[in-house]
Amino acid sequence: MMTLLDRYLTREILKYFSLVLALVVGVYLVVDFFERIDNFMEVGVPFSRAVTYFIHKVPFIVSQILPVGVLLAILICFGIMIKHNEIIALKSSGISVYSLLRPVLSIGLIFTILLFFLQEIVVPATLARANAIWIQEVRKEHAVLTREQNIWIREKRAIIHIRHFNPSEAKLFFITLNYFDDQFNLVRRLDAEEGRFENGQLRLFKILEQTLDTDNDVYRINHHDELAVIVDLNADDLKTVAKDASEMGFRELLEYIKKIEGEGYSARTYRVDLQAKIAFPFVCVIMSIVGLGISLRGNLKEGMPVGIAYGIGMAFSYWVFNSFCTSLGYGEMLPSVIAVWLANLIFLCVGLIALINAE
């Protein structure tokens, strides 16, 4: 049962969270708008499509800044309470730090569930639509985006099919290049087991080449161990058109991992992303505890701006350390579970220590 203090803290934290969220999302959208609007105008995309693109990016933006928003809201709420000596009054009445933790932790759990819901249902759908607008209507990429590994790309007189692309190693597997003449007759076909980009070229390995002999109307077959071809394509383009883990929900990503591992490909990067879909929402709980610990630290005379600065520094430190651990997971230097959860565990301990010291 919520006490009067619980309701008051919950209302105040949610109020400041709404203000912080609106401010940060607004700034993000304004910056992104001025960075990209020229690209929309250059290709003649209607302004309404640009608005649609930015609207579809909002859920992704919210999911990224939601933990920081919770942290800042708690810091602002308790900073104002400290300024008005409300915390001193509460402690004088026998209310402990752990009584203040109850509503804060409840808010953290609610936002954890909300963030998981956003990442599982809302963000994959909206981000996929935003990326489709950017890739197909703005960048004019002639690629077919599918939920499977298969990537189809159309060039001037060629159609390229890539069965599997490994973004972390920038390697392609089982590539087919079909070349056509003016009458759309197939004049050459290359089937390669593996490929990678080197010096502006696509270098293929273990190739079967079929070339049309126009005089006899038959295809001549040749085998090559290695062959370099020129294509209007690079690894960054493939990373753009390949479906990202953020565009897939937990269940879809799990099925995707089973599929590519069943076909003999490495899925270590997706394994890390799968664990991150579980671990990242819990940052809301951790940031709630950290925010309360920072707000109630021993030296209360520094004021709210210093507390907010501490909070931003803590959030930045978490982001850097978590990114570092995640990269170790991608490189197989740490198991995926440890790589993703290590930052959560360490910063949870930091928050609990701060709370104990405050008490």
Q: What are residue 2's phi and psi, to 5 degrees?
A: -80, 130
Q: What is the pLDDT of residue 284?
A: 92
Partners of 106 in beta bridges: none
Whether the predicted pLDDT of 289 surpasses 70: yes
Kindly write down the DSSP assignment for every residue of 296-342, as one continuous string. T-S--TT-HHHHHHHHHHHHHHHHHHHHHHHHHHHTTSS-HHHHHHH
**In the chain, % of residues over pLDDT 70:** 88
Both tokens assigned to 346: 């360490």
* pLDDT, mean over the chain: 83
Q: What are residue 233's phi and psi, to 5 degrees?
A: -160, 150
Neighbours of 148 (CB within 10 A): 11
Q: Please list, in sequence order, all residues whose beta carbon lies within 8 angstroms of the beta carbon of residue 312, skipping any fewer than 6 positions away.
A: 68, 72
Whether the predicted pLDDT of 232 surpasses 90: no
**In the chain, % of residues over pLDDT 90:** 23
User: What's the average model confidence in pLDDT over 330-356?
Assistant: 88
Q: Looking up tokens 């890739």, which residue turns up?
A: 135
- Say if CB 75 and CB 295 are below 8 A apart: yes
Q: What is the pLDDT of residue 286?
A: 92
Q: How many CA atoms lie within 13 A of 232 on its CB side?
A: 11
Q: What is the pLDDT of residue 164?
A: 80
Q: What is the pLDDT of residue 263?
A: 64
Q: What are residue 169's phi and psi, to 5 degrees?
A: -105, 0
Q: Model-level pTM?
A: 0.72
Q: CA–CA separation, 241 vs 235, rounded Å?
A: 10
Which tens digits make up the pLDDT trace of 44-93? 888 888 899 999 999 999 998 999 999 999 988 888 888 887 777 877 77
Q: Which of 40-44, 65-69, 103-107, 147-151 has the lowest mean pLDDT?
A: 147-151
Q: What are residue 161's phi and psi, to 5 degrees?
A: -120, 125
Whether the predicted pLDDT of 1 surpasses 90: no
User: What's the average model confidence in pLDDT over 136-147?
Assistant: 61
Whether the predicted pLDDT of 128 surpasses 60: yes
Neighbours of 161 (CB within 10 A): 15
Q: What is the pLDDT of residue 338?
A: 92
User: What's the average model confidence in pLDDT over 218-240?
Assistant: 79
Higher-scoring residue by pLDDT: 117, 301: 117
Q: What is the pLDDT of residue 148?
A: 43
Q: CA–CA separation, 130 vs 148, rounded Å?
A: 19
* DSSP class of 69: H
User: What's the average model confidence in pLDDT over 345-355?
Assistant: 89
Please say whether the dihedral angle defined by the alpha carbons of residues 219, 224, 228 and 234, taken in this order, is positive or negative: positive
Per-residue confidence band for 112, with pLDDT thresholds at 50, 70 and 90? very high
Neighbours of 183 (CB within 10 A): 6
Helices 97-117 & 336-358 angle (0-180, nearest 10): 150
Q: What is the pLDDT of residue 303?
A: 64
Q: What is the pLDDT of residue 147?
A: 44
Q: What is the pLDDT of residue 80?
A: 85
Q: Looking up tokens 């060629």, which residue turns up?
A: 158
| H runs (alpha helix) in the chain | 4-42, 47-83, 86-92, 97-117, 123-132, 235-241, 250-262, 268-279, 283-295, 304-330, 336-358
